[in-house]
Structure 1
Amino acid sequence: MKNLPRIACFHGGGSNAAIYEVQCAPLIAALENEYELVFFNGPYIRSAGPGVLPAFAEYPPFRSWFTQGEGGAELDDGSGYDSMSRDGVARVWQLMEAQGPGGEWVGAMGFSQGSRMAGGLLLDQQRRDRVGDIGVTDVNLRFGVCCMGAGTPMQSEIGHSLDEQTRVAERVGIRTLHVHGLKDIFLPLGRHQYETCYEKGTTTLFSVNYHHAMPWHKQDVQQLADHIRKIDKETRLG
């Protein structure tokens, strides 16, 4: 069987890879002959997130991509999961490499908090490309998908080497698709992420009449799949 192009997928806060795979089942079916969606777990255990219970009560443990430091502030680089103070972006690059031989990694997709993980990979790649540093991986993602997103992209090691002004001002310029739910209580946060963290002209906005959830109606799933195909094709053709 031909190795399909792979998309790395990141669950929301208080969820996990198994739950996100179930939530993405209609999209997986729509893309089954074109892409392989690969789901990853956040390193931290936490309580169930919005919309997880009661449907996924039998799917613990629930996880997060971020934790807090000693003072209670969020560690925006996702560090703290081991004694070596490695950041979460490097961890995920290594998890992707550990998947072994297969299709080319072409994209990253995240739901809610997971959108910060997807954006963090793209921003890290963008910065490393600029300075000629491949870092911990030679993966070259072409696009990202942020579903019901909120918050800034996860910071990587190279981000911390930049001065504060440059780090805050830099936006992701790699092609991205943003899925917004018009009934989502977090929609203002998603709009803020879209407007402040991503370069205009490289983004596509796809709005659906949903609450905080992945698209599941057939027509909406088909449109999401079509957007992914279109962005991938455009990035391949340059």
Structure 2
Amino acid sequence: MPARTVELLERTMREQIERDGRGFVGVIGFSMGGRMAAGLLLEQQLRLNAGNADANGDANGNESGVEGHEFKFGVFICATSPPITKLHDLLDHENGDGKGDKIALPQIDIPTLHILGNRDPWVDPGELLATTHFSPAKRTVHRLDMGHHLPAQQKDNMQLVEGILDMAKQVGV
């Protein structure tokens, strides 16, 4: 994602942490916001991996981002693909299959919940996001009988709530 966007998001997170003394545990994205949330998680993973690989760098991998802060899980509702990242220009946005990408993005390796609407016109890009960009061992995908909107039925909302609580328990929150 553009550097200006990264700076704005980091400043917003820092200000919120300063206000309440706590950080964020997870990130949630709906529709195109899911692409941005996926980009945040991917940028975080790349930053942490670079920090772990660099013995001379910050042990927390914080070359950018909010000091000592990591998202521990992600929620994606009717999200689309691909993630919006600094590597955006290297990805083929015309074809959803990723075959025209100039690079292969690593799979995001934290717990994620993906809510897909069976009647959503963008369900295929949502499924592509989940299956291509997230670790199979850590992703949960629920297909609900809904269109391109937030879950409205109580049973659907309970799947969302239970999924978030399960991930929170899994990561020790």
TM-score of the aligned structures, taking structure 2 as reference length: 0.78
Task: Return closer, same or farther for 1:124/1:90 CA change in 2, 3 Å cut-off.
Answer: farther
Q: What does residue 95 of structure 1 align with?
A: 12
Q: For 1:225, which of 137, 161, 165 is the aligned residue?
A: 161
Q: Which residue of the partner structure matches residue 131 of structure 1?
A: 50
Letter matched to residue 147 of structure 1: I
**Unmatched runs of 5 consecutive residues or more in structure 1:** 1-76, 80-85
Q: Where do residues 123-162 of structure 1 align in structure 2 (5 Å cutoff)? A: 123-132=42-51, 133-134=61-62, 135-138=64-67, 139-156=69-86, 159=87
1:7-86 pair list within 5 angstroms: 77=1, 79=2, 86=3
Report SS of the residue matched to 1:236: coil
Q: Which residue of 2 aligns with 1:116?
A: 35
How many residues were matched structurally?
Answer: 149
CA distance in 2, matches of 1:201, 1:235: 14
Shift of 1:91: 2.2
Q: Does 1:198 align with 2:134?
A: yes
Give the secondary-structure state (helix, strand or coil) at the position aligned to 2:75.
Answer: strand
Identify, as 1 or 2, the structure richer in helix.
2
Say whether the 8 Å CA contact 1:89–1:155 is kept in structure 2: no
- Per the TM alignment, residue 152 of structure 1 is displaced from its structure 2 partner at its CA by 1.3
Greater percentage in strand: 1
Retained in 2: the 8 A contact 1:126–1:174?
Answer: no
CA displacement, residues 178-205 of structure 1 (integer Å, 9 cap, x when unaligned): 0000111111111111121112111011
How many Å apart are 1:88 and its aligned residue? 2.1
Q: Secondary structure at the match of 1:168?
A: coil
Match of 2:144 among 200, 203, 208: 208
Tell me by how many angstroms 1:87 deviates: 4.2
Aligned to 2:24: 105
Q: Does 1 or 2 have the higher relative contact order (CA < 8 Å, sep 6+)? A: 2
Return the alpha-carbon distance in structure 2 between the equivalents of residues 201 and 218 of structure 1: 27
2:115 aligned to which of 167, 179, 189: 179
Aligned position for 1:62:
none
3-state DSSP of counterpart to 1:216: coil
- Structural RMSD (CA): 2.0
Q: Secondary structure, in 3 states, of the residue corresponding to 1:128?
A: helix
Identity over aligned pairs, percent:
28
Where does structure 2 lack aligned partners over 5 or more consecutive residues? 52-60, 91-100
